[in-house]
Amino acid sequence: MDGWPPVNCRRFDGEGDLDFRRRSARVSEIVTAFRFGRVEYDEGERLERELDKLQSPAYYHRYEMSARH
């Protein structure tokens, strides 16, 4: 196998197209930074937490509900 596998980001139920594209781009950006070793330890910890949130449907739906109120 040559190179890295593609970064896949699944679309959440009810997620709009623009939100999905933004979230998917950020996930790809973070994963690529890790793959190429461009992340220092402290930043890596923060990015790992952000990546967990970006890939969590429960977090996304909580965020969306709080943004509406």
Could you tell me the pLDDT band of residue 68, with boundaries at 50, 70 and 90?
low
Could you tell me the pLDDT band of residue 65, with boundaries at 50, 70 and 90?
low
Q: At 53, is the secondary structure helix, strand, or coil?
A: helix
Taking the C-alpha atoms of residue 35 and residue 37, their distance in angstroms, rounded to an integer, is: 6
9-50 pLDDT per residue, tens: 999 999 999 999 999 999 999 999 999 998 998 899 999 999
pLDDT at 61: 77
pLDDT at 1: 53
Report CA 24 to chain centroid distance, whole Å: 6
